[in-house]
Amino acid sequence: MINDYMKITNEAGHPVRLSLFGRIGGGFWDDINEQEIKDALAFLPPDREIDILINSEGGSVFTALAIYNLLSQHKGKITITVGGLAASAATLITSIPNATVIMPTGSMMLIHPVRQMAGMPQTPEELREAAVNLEKIRETMIDVYQKKTGQSREGLLALMHGESFLTGQEAVAKGFADRIDETQSVTNTLIDGVATVNDLKVSACIAGMAPEGFFKAEISAEQGVTMNLEKLKAEHPDLVEAIRKEAITEGVNRERARIKAIEEIAVAGHAELVAKAKYENGMTAEMLAVAILKVEREANKARLEQHRADAKELEGLGEAGNTGFDPKAEKRDQEEAAMNAVIEAGKRGFNRM
């Protein structure tokens, strides 16, 4: 392994495998550079077979040309597979004259004009000098493309000016690639505005230039999908009907269970309360039990008050004929009887729940 974006696998009996993923350039933010490739080639026999897998949106033309020259000097067989995208400067690497270039299904190349990097000097003199240099770089790139493809310089210049995305078939037809591999395929996605080419994140400008269908638009789980009842009915009528039937069945079963529980705790003397719980107010059995206890408590309270009133009338009577009679004992008996009535009503209600 060279770094996270450049990997080399060297196993006896197999071609050396070199994976180049990411931006081309020697800067801090770039992923692929010529020095590390030079170091890797230094340990290989000059005729060792090399398989290169490249997936890059491009980068520095100078770095790409340096890599092109290093690999062009290798005497062994070189096979390059475009594992997603070979764009801009990356097409210089795929144009190695001694290499066979393979395009899996879904892979593409991008040929576009030479451009000055952002942040370069912008004075009139510097711009004139930059224009001259850009023309020289463009001519060098056309030399490389022409050696690989055999096309005319005018045709290649038109491709560059046209910001040309080439499918595998088009790349083969124009000589930039040698064959299609339909046994392999790549997946390019655009999720929440983030473009990835076979799992490699690429810049937004690549996504903007790509032809329709190159990126598969998806929605992340975090973003979700807006759905309402009318849309659900229109798009998934079978699902809506299944949900409706299940809801009806569940509702009927719950209602039957509620009625049964009410009947099990119903006690004599409360027929009206039980009927309302069943058919009017939607009470549960537990709620009905509490309501019955409240009614029983009020009734027992009224009876107790009546007993007290009756006892009070007896207070005006004389002692004659009341030998052995204890008014306080009778009051205690009345209170105890009332309390027992409340407890018994509670038992009747809750023992049936």
C-beta neighbour count of 248 within 10 angstroms: 10
Token code pair at residue 13: 């009996």
Domains of the chain: 6-218 (3.90.226.10), 231-316+325-350 (no CATH)
Residue pLDDT tens, the chain, 353 long: 344 567 888 887 889 999 999 889 866 556 888 988 898 888 888 899 999 999 999 988 999 999 999 999 999 999 999 999 999 999 999 999 989 999 999 899 999 988 776 555 578 887 788 888 889 999 999 999 999 999 999 999 999 998 899 999 999 999 999 999 999 888 888 877 788 888 888 877 777 777 777 777 665 555 555 566 677 778 788 887 888 788 788 777 877 887 887 777 777 777 887 787 777 777 777 777 777 878 778 878 887 888 777 777 766 655 555 555 565 666 666 666 656 655 665 555 555 55
Report the C-alpha gap between 58 and 112 in whole angstroms: 11
CB neighbour list of residue 247: distance below 8 Å, 6 or more residues apart:
none
Q: Which residues, in sequence order, are bridge partners of residue 104?
A: 181
Which of 85, 100, 231 shows the shortest CA–CA distance to 166? 85
Return the biggest CA–CA distance within the chain: 143
pTM, entire model? 0.60
Burial of 224 from C-beta contacts in 10 A (0-12 / 13-18 / 19+): exposed
The string of DSSP letters for 101-130 reads EEEEET-EEEE----PPTT---SHHHHHHH
Q: Are 65 and 92 in contact (CB under 8 A)?
A: yes
